[in-house]
Amino acid sequence: MSGLKQELGLAQGIGLLSTSLLGTGVFAVPALAALVAGNNSLWAWPVLIILVFPIAIVFAILGRHYPSAGGVAHFVG
């Protein structure tokens, strides 16, 4: 058996989810949204969190049923 740690904590899960789904756009989009929508763009964040939450739950269920150190590549490949 390899020495890989096969578990994710909350911080690792949030990091994995934010980088795989949101990508680097999370750094550029807020500035553009603020230019277009002003202060109303702040409402987009809670809405996006609500929309992304079901995807996070699916990843959690997949990770629990099919534990692998391969991550997302294991599910798709």
CA 9-43-56 angle, 5° bins: 25
For residue range 18-76, what is the model confidence (pLDDT) as tens digits?
777 667 777 788 888 889 988 888 888 889 889 989 988 888 888 888 777 777 777 77
Domain that holds residue 52: 28-71
What are the tokens at 10?
């909350």
2, burial (CB in 10 Å: exposed 0-12, middle 13-18, buried 19+) = exposed
Report yes or no on 18 lying in a domain: no
3-state secondary structure of 77: coil
Q: How many domains does the chain have?
A: 1
Mapping DSSP to helix (H, G, I), strand (E, B) and coil, where does residue 21 land?
helix
pTM: 0.51
Structure tokens at 68: 């692998």
